[in-house]
Amino acid sequence: MATSAPRPSIEAQVSVYECAITLKFRILEESHAMANRDHLLEQLLDAFSYGSDEFVEQLESQVEVNEVSAIDASPLMRRQLIRLRNLPSA
């Protein structure tokens, strides 16, 4: 007996979105970690995603999401969008 993941009953509409995230928080961290620019963003996002605790204090978070025309997307993203829209909905 074959099983598969349930499909949504309403056909999903795939679009291109532009997202802007503003995060402002305070973090207790070793100073050398803040100097390593290659890994700084990853470390900060990891710390923030765990939520506020005694080492991270959230000050502000803001998310803005806007749908944009597929024409404004890169050629690679447009090709992926076409692939997703052409997937069978069975």
**Cα 59 to the center of its chain, rounded Å:** 20
pLDDT computed for residue 9 by the predictor: 44
Of the candidates 66, 88, 52, 56, the one whose C-alpha atom is nearest the C-alpha of residue 18 is 66
What's the pLDDT at 20?
Answer: 94
DSSP assignment string, 52-89: SSSSEEEEEEEEEEEEE-GGGS-HHHHHHHHHHHTS--
pLDDT of residue 53: 79
Is residue 55 within 8 Å of 19, Cβ to Cβ? no
d(CA 73, CA 75): 7
The whole-angstrom separation of Cα 26 and Cα 41 is: 14
Mean pLDDT by runs of 10 across the 90 residues of the chain is 50 85 85 78 80 82 93 93 83
The predicted structure's pLDDT at residue 81: 92
Global pTM value:
0.59
